[in-house]
């Protein structure tokens, strides 16, 4: 059973924040799944993208707001879609 504190925090969390966290988590899980299936490490991906490993780590830990441009770069490098939409 949830504590009263947890329930209060959840009740006070705006819906858009809950949606953001859910989507961000789905995206990070997808990126990690693709990396794992290809045998990529964060260091390897950083080298391929000409980024610092710490930046990749921030992306995958939720410490950086991923832009659509960054997601497009990741998709191009990983060779697989990250976000699936009806149009593609």
Q: How far apart are CA 81 and CA 75, in angstroms?
A: 6
Q: What is the pLDDT of residue 58?
A: 92
Local structure of residue 82 (DSSP, 8 states): S
pLDDT(87) > 70: no
- Using alpha carbons, select from 45, 33, 41 the residue that is nearest to residue 74: 45
> What is the CATH code of the structural domain delimited by 15-78?
1.10.260.40
- Using alpha carbons, select from 81, 82, 39, 35 the residue that is nearest to residue 57: 35
Q: DSSP string covering 24-80, please? A: HHHHHHHHHHHHHHHT--HHHHHHHHT--HHHHHHHHHTSS---HHHHHHHHHHHTS
Q: What is the pLDDT of residue 54?
A: 93
The predicted-structure confidence for 60-83, as pLDDT tens digits, reads as follows 998 788 999 999 999 999 999 999
Q: What is the pLDDT of residue 2?
A: 66
The predicted-structure confidence for 16-66, as pLDDT tens digits, reads as follows 988 988 999 999 999 999 999 999 999 999 999 999 999 999 999 987 889
Note the pTM of the prediction, 2 decimals. Answer: 0.81
């Amino acid at each position: 059973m949830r504590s009263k504190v947890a329930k209060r925090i959840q009740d006070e969390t705006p819906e858009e924040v809950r949606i953001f966290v859910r989507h961000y988590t789905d995206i990070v899980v997808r990126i990690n799944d693709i990396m794992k299936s290809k045998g990529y490490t964060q260091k390897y991906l950083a080298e391929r993208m000409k980024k610092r490993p710490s930046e990749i780590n921030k992306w995958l830990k939720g410490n950086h707001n991923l832009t659509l441009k960054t997601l497009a770069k990741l998709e191009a490098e990983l060779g697989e879609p990250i976000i699936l939409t009806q149009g593609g």
